Structures are given as structure tokens and as C-alpha cells.
Chain A
Amino acid sequence: MSFKKMNFLLEWKKIKRTGFFAAFLAGGILAGAFPVINTAVRTEMFISSPGSPAAILMSANYQTMAMLSLLLLTAGACILYHIEYADNGIQKMQSLPIRESGLFFGKFFLLLPAFFLMFCIQCAAMIFCGLHWLDPAAASEGELFHCLELVRCFGFAFLLTLPAALLLLFLSSLCRNMWIMLGIGILGIFLGTMLPSDSFAASLFPFAMPFQTLPGMEEDLVIRYIIAAVSETAFIGIIEIICIRIRRLFA
């Protein structure tokens, strides 16, 4: 069995009875319910708005959904390391022949499908809104153009959320006390919402990037955001590896 697969399986086994996936499922449904209720209540206003159904739905709902996603990621990261610190399980892991970086990335690869599931639910809810209220004619003709646009939007949002997910996990690995981590995570999210949205540099803050939406964004900027997201994810991963080595040096 490959090293990565084994780490993933180990982490999968460890999260039993923590409610980790149930939390993401419930969070995904909650975030998905938001556009459904919002569109149902304000259908006329949305229909009269200019732009494609995807653009209307994203601009009307995505900021709140992104906030919910980040809060859920914070909770998820807390759970993943709380199980290690609560009864000192991490000390047992450190005294076994495995690398601590493997443990961290095993947790990250567990966090990924969880928040992918959440994004899928959110995306499905948006597609439903688009087909049911904003573009029923396209739905009856089997027109999938708007659906694909929404899938692209969520794919882009997923990519832009990766640095925040890894950063939250990194912070969680540093905090033995889950509540401290939870506080830091929430502060980071609120800081992300307060940063000026028209500044590209400020929007590169990992907690601000998930609030950027694809509709209306210039192609050049899209590419710059994708490069930034991938670079930040790689950078945080490298920082974690360095941190593990430093902690070992000063243990």
C-alpha cells in the first residue's frame, strides 16, 4: 500500500465517532439551503437582474456560502487535530515509525473530500435554483450551459479555498487547545471579509481569496488567482514541513 494511501486510511480510521463528515454534510446542506430560500423569496428581483443566471446567483449568494464553508473548514481542522491532542494520541504517533508530515498531509487529504462534498451540495443547490427559477426554459430544452458555468464557478472557488483549508489545518496542528485554534480561525475569517475587495494584493490573504467569484472576472485575473492559490497552498505545505523539523529540533 502506498504511503499516502496508508496515511489517508489511518486518518479515516481515527475520525470515527467525531461527527466530522456529518458536520460537513450538515454544513453543505445548510449552505445549499441558503440560495434556495434566497431565490425562492426574491425570484422577481433575480429574474429582472442583468447577467447570466450563474452570475446572478453567485453574486447574490456566494459571499454567505463562502463564509459558511470557511467556518466549517475551521471546525473540521479543529476536529482533526483535537483527536490527536485530547488524549495525547499524537505522542503515540510520534513514537511510531511514521513521519509527522505524513500525518499532516493524511489529514489534509481527508479534509479535501469533506469540503469537496460540501461544495458539490452547494453547487447542486445553485444549479437547482438556476433551472427552477431563473432559466426554466433552458431546463426543459436540456440546455446545460448555465449548469456548466456554475460548475466552473464552484471549481474556481474550490481551488481558491485550498490555501485557507491548508492554513487552518496548519494552525490547528500548532494549537494543543482547540478553542484557541477556533478563535484564531474565526478572527482570520472576519479579517478576510474586512479586507478591501478591490485590491488584488489584499485579496491574496488566504481567508480573503475564497470570497472571490468567477463571473465577471477577467481571464488574466483568473489565471493570476489560480497561480496564487496553488503557490500559497504549496508554500503553506512547505512551512508545515519546516515547522515539524523546527519543533523536533527544539523538543
Chain B
Amino acid sequence: MNIIETKNLTKTYADFTAVSHLNLHVPKGSVYGFVGPHGAGKSTTMKMFLGLTRPTDGTFVIDRKSYPHNRVKILKEIGSFIESPAFYGNLTGEENLDIIRRILGLPKSSVSDALELVGLTQYRKRLAKKYSLGMKQRLGLAGALIGRPPILILDEPTNGLDPVGIHEIRTLIRSLPEQFDCTVFVSSHLLSEIELMADNIGILNHGRLLFEGTLEDLKEKAAVQGYPTDNLEDTFLALIEDDNIRRGEKR
């Protein structure tokens, strides 16, 4: 069963198409890696799921609820982290999470639970504006994870983290479906990162979905089409390059 499904989802800004006729299928209980170069339309797609951006055309369904009629109901089920961390700099990490906790109607213990999960417990009393980039990123993740929502939408969650932090967050994301019975929709511009945590992947370029399936499916497709298969990063780059050539946009 797919927990997120899009049908011809499109977003255009004046004469620029950010997302074009996107048909995604995110299976329930999986980690879905959404990969693409910068400007491919990953964040725009995620923003559409959260109602931060309105689709120009097409529809999407999240846990059988359609947008825009069920916007608030959809948001109740989603924990999200989009682009840069969003927080209140005048509040501590703990106070920031307490605001989210109150909105979601969660017990007080959920704040310490989320802080523990991302390793911010010892910095909980520090003002969020004084956090380092990595700590802000962790706070954003804690804000998404608080209350253990059934769906997590994470936009490049390892940005700004050091190698140890990247490893920790990656391990955490990988373990989430099993631990909390949730679905994770995570984006990155690095296939090498996504392949370490995702069950299914979708590759996006210039707003168009080039591939959707498992990593094994991608390897098979790459072999059939003559792309390199030894290294998935090379496969990804070849796929993108080929698409750019076809679109006549090679520089």
C-alpha cells in the first residue's frame, strides 16, 4: 500500500516549471529516497505535500487524504523538516519543541524524548540562535520527530552535519520505520547517501521523475541502458547527464 501518491503533480512559476507531471508512489513503512541535483524540484515537491506551495496542476493523496480539502488532517500525520532549519531564535531548543508539542497536543515527555533522539539533551537550555549549524539541523529533526508521526518528510536532513553526525542521523532514519512504524520520505542530492538508508528511490531531474523503484531495479535498468553499474553515484550521474543531453541542456 502506498502512503503517498501523486498524480501528474506539477508546479510552475511564471515560465519556469519546477515540477512536471510527477507520479510518485511511496510505500507505507519504507524509507523513500528522493534524489536529484540542486534545483531538480525536490524541495518544491515536499513543500507541496505540506501545503507550503500550491500545486499548479495534478493531485496528491497522503494516507488516503487529498489536498487541499484535508490540509490540516494531513499535517497532523506529518513530521517535517524543509530546507533550512526553522525555529525561534529567542527561545531555547527545549522551548522551541514545547511550542510544537502544545500544537500537536503531545505529553510533556515527548520534548525530552525528541531531544534525546537527536542528541541535543545537554544543549536543551541553550538559545536556538546560539546553536551551531549542525545543532540547528538536529533541532529541526527533533521538531519533525516529536510525537513520532506516521509520516516523516525530511529535506536534506544531513546538511551541515559533521561526518559523525551524518552517520548518526543516517542510522536513525534507517531505524525509524522499524522503531516507530513510520514512513520516511527523505531527499538528498547524493545517491551515495540515499543508498545507505533508502528502500525505494525516486530520481528527479529538472522537475521530471527519471526513475522510481528499488536500488536493485536501478542497477538492472542501468545495465540494460548501458550506464555504469559498479558505482551507484556514477549511475546517477550518467542518468542525469543523459537526461540533460536529451533535453538539449548540456553545457
B90 engages A97 (CB within 8 Å): no
The CA of A16 and the CA of B129, in the complex, are separated in Å by 13
| Bound-complex Cα distance A83 to B104 (A) | 21
Interface string of B76-89 (1 = CB under 8 A from A): 10101010111111
A86 at the interface (CB under 8 A from B): yes
Query: Once bound together, how far apart are the Cα atoms of A93 and B100, in whole Å?
Result: 8
Known interface pairs A97-B72, A97-B76, A97-B104; A14-B91 also in contact (CB < 8 Å): yes
With A91-B86, A92-B87 given, is the CB distance from A10 to B52 under 8 Å? Answer: no
Q: Which residues of A contact B50 (CB under 8 A)?
A: 94-95
Known: A9-B102, A83-B90, A97-B75. A92 touches B143 (CB 8 A): yes
Q: In the complex, what distance in Å separates the CA atom of A130 from the CA atom of B218?
A: 85
Cβ-defined contact, B88 with A14, below 8 A: yes
Pairwise interchain contact B103-A10, C-beta atoms closer than 8 A: yes
Q: Does B12 contact A (CB under 8 A)?
A: no
- Contact status A88-B103, CB under 8 Å: no
Bin chain A's interface residue count: 20 to 34
Residues of A within 8 A of B102 (CB): 6, 9-10, 13
CA distance A22 to B76 in the complex (A): 36
A248:B103 contact, CB within 8 angstroms: no
Contact of B91 with A17 in the complex, beta carbons under 8 Å: yes
B160 cross-chain contacts in A, Cβ below 8 A: none
Residues of A within 8 A of B27 (CB): none
Q: Tell me if B95 and A13 are in contact (CB < 8 A).
A: yes
Nearest CB of A to B158, in Å: 19
Q: Please indicate the chain A residues that have their CB under 8 angstroms from the CB of B104 in the complex.
A: 96-97
Interface presence of A45 (CB below 8 A): no
Chain A nearest CB from B99 CB (Å) reads: 6
Please report the C-alpha to C-alpha distance between residue A250 and residue B98 in the assembled complex, in whole angstroms.
Answer: 31
| Residues in A whose Cβ lies below 8 Å from that of B100 | 92, 96
A87 at interface by CB-CB < 8 Å: yes
Flag if A250 contacts B54 (CB, 8 Å).
yes
State whether the Cβ of A136 lies closer than 8 Å to any Cβ in chain B. no
Q: CA separation between A244 and B100, bound complex, in Å?
A: 21
Measured CB to CB, the nearest residue on chain A to B80 is A95
Output the least CB separation between A124 and chain B (Å). Answer: 31
- A251 proximal to B (CB < 8 A): yes
> Chain B residues near A18 (CB, 8 Å)?
90
- Answer whether residue B128 sits at the interface, using C-beta atoms and an 8 A cutoff: yes
B119 adjacent to chain A (CB < 8 Å): no
A16 touches B87 (CB 8 A): no
Least Cβ distance of A47 to chain B in Å? 48
Choice from B72, B76, B85, B88 contacting A83 with Cβ under 8 Å: B88
Chain A 73-97, CB-CB to B under 8 Å as 1, else 0, gives 0000000000100111111111111
Asked if A99 is at the interface of the complex by the 8 Å CB criterion, the answer is yes
Chain B residues whose CB sits within 8 angstroms of the CB of A87 once the complex forms: 85-89, 128-129
Cα A248 to Cα B53 in complex, Å, equals 7
Specify the chain B residue showing the minimal Cβ separation from A88: B86
Flag if B90 contacts A88 (CB, 8 Å).
no
Which residues of A lie under 8 Å from residue B90 when comparing CB positions?
A: 14-18, 83
| A41 located at the interface, meaning its Cβ lies under 8 Å from any Cβ of chain B in the complex | no
B228 at the binding interface (Cβ < 8 Å) = no
Contact with A along B58-73 (1 / 0, CB 8 A): 0000000000000011
Residues of B within 8 A of A91 (CB): 52, 82, 86
Please name all residues of chain A whose beta carbon is closer than 8 Å to the beta carbon of B88 when the two chains form the complex.
Answer: 14, 83, 87, 89
State in angstroms the CA–CA spacing of A97 and B54 once bound together: 16
Bound state CA distance, A95 and B75, in angstroms? 7
What CA separation (Å) do A90 and B85 show in the bound complex?
Answer: 11
B51 at the interface (CB under 8 A from A): yes
Instruction: Provide the bound-state CA to CA distance between A104 and B142, in Å.
Output: 25
A249 at the interface (CB under 8 A from B): yes
A180 sits at the interface (CB 8 A) = no
Q: List 18 A-B contacts (CB under 8 A).
A: A9-B102, A10-B103, A13-B95, A14-B90, A15-B90, A16-B90, A86-B89, A87-B86, A87-B128, A88-B85, A89-B87, A91-B82, A91-B86, A92-B143, A94-B51, A97-B75, A97-B104, A248-B54
Q: A residues near B, CB below 8 A?
A: 6, 9-10, 13-18, 83, 86-99, 248-251
A10-B99, A13-B98, A87-B128 given; name 8 further pairs at CB < 8 Å: A16-B91, A17-B90, A88-B84, A89-B89, A92-B87, A95-B52, A99-B72, A248-B54
